Amino acid sequence: MPIIYYIILSIALFSIGIVGVLTRRNAIIIFMCVELMLNAVNLLLVAFSKMHYNAALKDGLVAGADGQLFVFFIMVVAAAEVSVGLAIIVMMYRNIHSVDVNFLNRLKH
């Protein structure tokens, strides 16, 4: 597969995630859209990792593990973010019984 396919696929997923963040009001869905963005990144990282592996193989070298490990770390971070993020959303819900971000407008000016 030409790498450009993966780039386009990944950017498409990423942009869908952005559109989701822009169009939805439910904080949980927005968060899920961010997860989608992160997964798009992961996919592209793995594809690039494979690409660099192939490129290095021609010279008899091994490369590309770093990309996959980065994905692993992104998953770690994502898990941490989810635990904190859902806690915050639940806290918000406990107070205003809604997860609609449009209600987050006490702070302005």
According to CB under 8 A, which residues from 73 to 92 bind other proteins?
73-92
Encoded tokens for 99: 């997860």
Residue with tokens 């904190």: 84
Nearest distance, CB of residue 49 and other proteins, angstroms: 7
- CB 66, CB 74: distance < 8 Å: no
With contacts defined by CB under 8 A, how many residues of the chain interact with other proteins? 100
| Distance from C-alpha of 27 to C-alpha of 86, rounded to nearest angstrom | 10
Nearest distance, CB of residue 60 and other proteins, angstroms: 14
Told to check if 61 binds other proteins by CB under 8 A, we report: no
